[in-house]
Amino acid sequence: MQRVLQMKATKSGAERRRWERLPLAIPVFVRGIEPNGKQFIEFATALDISVGGALLAIQRHLPPGSKIMLEIPCTPVPLAKDSQQNQNLKAKLVRVTKGDDCHLLGLKFHRPMASKVPGKKKKSATV
C-alpha cells in the first residue's frame, strides 16, 4: 500500500511554494553519496513536508545540489498483501541553512508525491 499525500496548490503573493506544507516531525533515513564517492546513510527528521519537497534536520553537512534518497519508515505490520514497509523518495538538495545543532536542508522531490496514486498507470508512448 502506498501512502499518498494530497494537498492544495498554494498561490498567495508571498508564498513561492507550489504546494502547502504540513508541519510534521517524521523520522527518515537519508541515503546518498559523499563527494569522495562513498555511500552513506544518516538518520534525520523531516520538519515539514509537501507534495513537492521537504525541510529536513540532519547532522551531516551536504552541499547544495546533492542528490539523495529519503526512506520514510511505514507501518511495521503490512496492512495489505502488496503493502510496502518503506516509502522511498528521490530528492535534490536545493537549500542549506546551518542551525545551532544541525543543518536544515530544503529538498525538492524528483517527482511530486501526488504522481504515486495507486492504481494509476502511466500511458506508454506508442511508436
Average pLDDT across the chain, whole number:
76
Judge whether 74 lies within some domain.
Answer: yes
Q: Is pLDDT at 3 greater than 60 in this prediction? A: no
DSSP string, 90-109: EEEEEEEEE-SSSEEEEEEE
Examine the pLDDT at 84 and tell me if it is beyond 80: no
Mean pLDDT of 11-38: 77
- With respect to residue 34, please indicate whether it lies within any of the assigned structural domains: yes
In a domain, residue 62? The reply is yes
pLDDT confidence of 72, banded at 50, 70, 90?
confident
| Dist. CA 41–CA 115, nearest whole Å | 26
Q: How far is CA 18 from the centre of its chain?
A: 15
Give yes or no for a contact between 44 and 55, defined as CB atoms under 8 angstroms apart: no
Whether the pLDDT of residue 113 is over 80: the answer is: no
- What pLDDT band is residue 81 in, cutting at 50, 70 and 90? low
pTM of the model: 0.66
Distance CA 21, CA 10 (A): 9
Q: Which domain holds residue 103?
A: 26-115
CATH number at residue 87: 2.40.10.220
> Which cell goes with 19?
504546494
Query: What pLDDT shows up at residue 88?
Result: 87
In a domain, 70, yes or no: yes
